[in-house]
């Protein structure tokens, strides 16, 4: 019964991943990331993604501040932030966030304030979507690990008795 649950959870995970891939939210870099997860660091993906969220939120806040606070926005600084966000997003395979960053940076290079604002909103939207979906994914993953653990435990119990 519990084993069935684990399988179903795994299927859920795969379905969710497939959806995200299909939507272009994630790309194969995310799979690379998953491959990096091994016995020596069993939670590698979620650890990295959490770092990413942490950093990205800082960057997004900065970007928003740069765009809104001053009339004359510091586009150069913005470009640097965007570059970093681009780098980290592409490193975890957040394809759509990265793409928006590219557009954002293009707008900032042209000192296109309106374009920047639009891009920022899109970016925040994409970011939230990614964050939600990844959280969902990790939750399923956690449950699956839990149920797998329980199944393992149950098997052991069965053997013992």
Partner 1 sequence: MAALQRVAQSSISTTASSYGSCKGAGVTTTTTNTSTKTATSSSAAVASEMVVSDKFPVGLRVLVVDDDTTCLTILEKMLRRCLYHVTTCFQATAALKLLRERKGCFDVVLSDVYMPDMDGYKLLEHVGLEMDLPVIMMSADGSTSAVMRGIRHGACDYLIKPIREEELKNIWQHVVRKKWNENKELENSGSLEDNDRHKQVNDDAEYTSSVNEGTEGSLKCQKKRSNSKEEDDGELENDDPSSSKKPRVVWSVELHQQFVSAVNQLGLDKAVPKRILELMNVPGLTRENVASHLQKFRLYLKRISGVAQQQTGISSAFCGSVEPNVKLGSLGRFDIQALAASGQIPPQTLAALHAELLGRPTGNLVPALDQPTLLHATLQGPKRGPVEHSVPFGQPLVKCQTNISKHFPPSILPVEDVSSGFGAWPSNSLGTVGSSINLGGLSTQNSNTLMDILQQQQQKQLQTQQLSVLSESSRSINVQPSCLVVPQTSPGFQLGNSPASVNQNCSFNRNTVIDYSILSSQSSDSAVNVGQISNGDIKATGILSGYSTPASCSSLSSCSLNATTSATHQSSTVTFGDARRFPGLVSNTSNIQGSYDAKPGEVLDQGPLKNLGFVGKGTCIPSRFAVDEFESSPSNMNQGKVNLEKNGNTVKQEPNMDFLDNAKIGVPILRQYSSNELMSVFTE
Binding region for partner 1 (CB under 8 A): 29, 32-33, 35-36, 38-41, 44, 47-48, 51-52, 54-55, 80, 83-84, 86-88, 90-93, 98
The residue among 6 and 85 lying less far from partner 1, judged by its C-beta, is 85
Task: Give the nearest distance from C-beta 110 to partner 1 in angstroms.
Answer: 15
Nearest partner of 52 among 104, 108, 98, 109, judged by Cα: 98
The residue among 82 and 140 lying less far from partner 1, judged by its C-beta, is 82
The residue among 48 and 122 lying less far from partner 1, judged by its C-beta, is 48
Tell how far CA 39 is from the center of its chain.
22
The residue among 106 and 146 lying less far from partner 1, judged by its C-beta, is 106
Q: 30-59 burial, b if ≥16 CB within 10 A, otherwise e?
A: beebeeeeeeeeeeebbebbeebbeebeeb
**Phi-psi category of residue 38: left, alpha or beta, with phi > 0 → left and psi -120 to 50 → alpha:** beta
Task: Give the nearest distance from C-beta 28 to partner 1 in angstroms.
Answer: 9
**Strand (E) or helix (H) holding 2:** helix 2-23
Task: Give the nearest distance from C-beta 87 to partner 1 in angstroms.
Answer: 4
The residue among 15 and 54 lying less far from partner 1, judged by its C-beta, is 54
Task: Give the nearest distance from C-beta 154 to partner 1 in angstroms.
Answer: 27
Greatest CA separation for the chain: 74
Task: Give the nearest distance from C-beta 78 to partner 1 in angstroms.
Answer: 12
Distance CA 119, CA 111 (A): 13
């Amino acid at each position: 019964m519990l084993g069935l649950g684990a399988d179903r959870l795994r299927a859920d995970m795969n379905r969710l991943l497939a959806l995200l891939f299909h939507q272009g939210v994630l790309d194969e870099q995310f799979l690379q990331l998953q491959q990096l997860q091994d016995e020596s660091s069993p939670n590698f993906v979620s650890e990295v993604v959490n770092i990413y969220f942490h950093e990205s939120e800082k960057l997004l806040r900065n970007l928003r501040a740069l765009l809104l606070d001053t009339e004359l926005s510091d586009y150069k600084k913005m470009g640097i932030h965007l570059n970093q966000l681009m780098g980290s997003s592409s490193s975890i395979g957040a394809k759509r966030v990265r793409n928006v960053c590219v557009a954002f940076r293009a707008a900032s290079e042209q000192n296109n304030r309106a374009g920047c604002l639009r891009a920022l909103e899109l970016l925040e939207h994409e970011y939230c979507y990614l964050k939600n979906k990844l959280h969902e994914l990790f939750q399923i993953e956690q449950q699956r690990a839990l149920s797998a653990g329980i199944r393992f435990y149950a098997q052991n119990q069965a053997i013992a008795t």
